[in-house]
Structure 1
Amino acid sequence: MIFSAHTMASTDIYHTLTQIIIPRPVAWVLSPNDETGSSHNLAPFSFFNVVCSDPPVLMLSIGVKSDGTMKDSCRNLLERKRCVIHIGSDDQAQAISDTSRELAFGESELEMIGNGLVPFEGTDMHRLQDVPIALACRLYQHIEVGNKPQHLLLVEVEQFWIDDAVCYVDSKGRSRVDADKLRPLARLGGSEYARLGEVFRIERR
């Protein structure tokens, strides 16, 4: 089958892309709704990946709400310049999906899923207490892309937190994350998600 992007509706292009560009990692983004940090927004985004390692910069691409207004995570990042990105496990898929719902600004998704917060050591932020990886980030650059527009947010990682249960030190003394123990959730198209299957290595020739 052949499709021309020039004749497709933007919604059809979106659904096609999200079924082709798979699997996608899921960033579970916690951001403060105010300067005091007394209220937080929590939302998942699968238009997400690493951009640079020096400095460590990640990419979040965030669209708009169904009414065309800016999503709360984007608004918080632009106003307060900080967030914590979590990498959740596959057994947290329902909670991650539940936090994708559109709520009124200031209404926290944390109450919906019943997940508490703990201080993020070395930062002035908090992280989800039951998620294996958390990355404390600051806004690095904001770029508007497309017609709606889509907000491309580059964030710099300032602090890494990795649960001891999913990491180890290899024979060369390097810290390694055990993918089998992490069991990261992957996003597919529509309402589909995926777990890791067999993990294998390819040796360089």
Structure 2
Amino acid sequence: MLSPEHPATGHKDHVSIDFARITERERYKLLIGSVVPRPIALVTTRHPDGTVNAAPFSFFNCLSADPAILALGVENQSDMSFKDTTLNVRLTEQFTVNVVDHAIMDAMNVCAVPFPSHVDELAEAGLTAVPGEAVGCPYIREAPIAFECHRYLTLGLGKSREIILGQVVRMHVREDLFDNERFYIDQLALDAVGRMGGHGYSTTREQFDLPTMSVEQWSAMKPTLQRTAG
């Protein structure tokens, strides 16, 4: 048995995997099945010829607040050529990240179809393009939140992947989600979805609070926890 239960503690043993000895596909499956849930960026870009592209990415997150940096991991095509998103960002230095909620999840999945470059994914998905205010590419009206970004830095990881860092220059947020006095986003109302492994997705409809403790609070709580554990 690979993961036997430890007889004394009830804990299961770990399987150790050497990433140098497994294939790229196996590494991919382990990573996307372990780093979950991942937020989804539905990225809109515009080619200099005016063609708009929309594509979802789950290798995505927020890396910094000052400067405000979002990160995308974009895999190249099978022939190692750039995907439309990467090419458009390189040519224009701009992109917009649209947050995916439950309401536009099916439309997001349409945007994942590998259409030819001349096809407008937003039109295929029934989504509405709104002209950007600080960038030349549009944001999506139906998205609950959108971040207009200027390219901050691009990192090439070998031949297969580009890491694109974007500095947020403007944000659009649906008014019912935003508390203007506290600068607070109503995360339950946001109803964002996340990417799991395989074809799986998750919701954010069940949440809980766990405040970070001060040293003093931990010191006061520690004896009680030790007695309970004993």
Same fold (TM over 0.5): yes
| Identity over aligned pairs, percent | 25
- Displacement, 1:116? 1.5
Matches within 5 A, 1:117-196: 117-121=129-133, 123-146=135-158, 148-169=159-180, 173-196=181-204
Matches within 5 A, 1:81-96: 81-96=93-108
Higher strand fraction (1 or 2): 1
Give the one of 27, 37, 49 matched to 1:13.
Answer: 27
Question: Residue by residue, what CA displacement relative to the aligned partner does 1:25-46 show, whole Å, maximum 9, x if unpaired?
Answer: 00110000225xx320000011
Determine which structure has greater relative contact order: mean sequence separation of CA pairs < 8 Å that are 6+ residues apart, divided by chain length. Answer: 1
| 8 Å CA contact 1:30, 1:42 repeated in 2 | yes
| 8 Å CA contact 1:123, 1:136 repeated in 2 | yes
Give the one of 76, 79, 86 matched to 2:88.
Answer: 76
Q: Which residue of 2 aligns with 1:60?
A: 72
In structure 1, what is the Cα distance between the partners aligned to 2:132 and 2:99? 15
In structure 1, what is the Cα distance between the partners aligned to 2:40 and 2:72? 10
Gaps of 5+ in 1: none
Cα RMSD for the two superposed structures: 1.6
- Displacement, 1:132? 0.7
Matches within 5 A, 1:19-30: 19-30=33-44
| 8 Å CA contact 2:44, 2:137 repeated in 1 | no
Q: Which residue of 2 aligns with 1:3?
A: 17
| 8 Å CA contact 2:107, 2:126 repeated in 1 | no
In structure 2, what is the Cα distance between the partners aligned to 1:67 and 1:100? 19
| 8 Å CA contact 1:122, 1:159 repeated in 2 | yes
| 8 Å CA contact 2:95, 2:135 repeated in 1 | no
In structure 2, what is the Cα distance between the partners aligned to 1:28 and 1:192? 17
- Displacement, 1:59? 0.7
TM-score, normalized by length of structure 2?
Answer: 0.81
Gaps of 5+ in 2: 1-14, 214-230
| 8 Å CA contact 2:148, 2:169 repeated in 1 | yes
What SS does the aligned partner of 1:200 have?
coil
What SS does the aligned partner of 1:93 have?
helix
Higher helix fraction (1 or 2): 2
TM-score, normalized by length of structure 1?
Answer: 0.91
In structure 1, what is the Cα distance between the partners aligned to 2:136 and 2:166? 17
In structure 2, what is the Cα distance between the partners aligned to 1:204 and 1:187? 26
| 8 Å CA contact 1:33, 1:106 repeated in 2 | no
Question: Residue by residue, what CA displacement relative to the aligned partner does 1:32-80 show, whole Å, maximum 9, x if unpaired?
Answer: 0225xx3200000111111221111111111112333211100100111
In structure 2, what is the Cα distance between the partners aligned to 1:186 and 1:153? 20
> How many residue pairs align between the two structures?
199
Q: Which residue of 2 aligns with 1:105?
A: 117
Question: Residue by residue, what CA displacement relative to the aligned partner does 1:59-104 show, whole Å, maximum 9, x if unpaired?
Answer: 1111112333211100100111001110011222221122112222
| 8 Å CA contact 2:48, 2:91 repeated in 1 | no
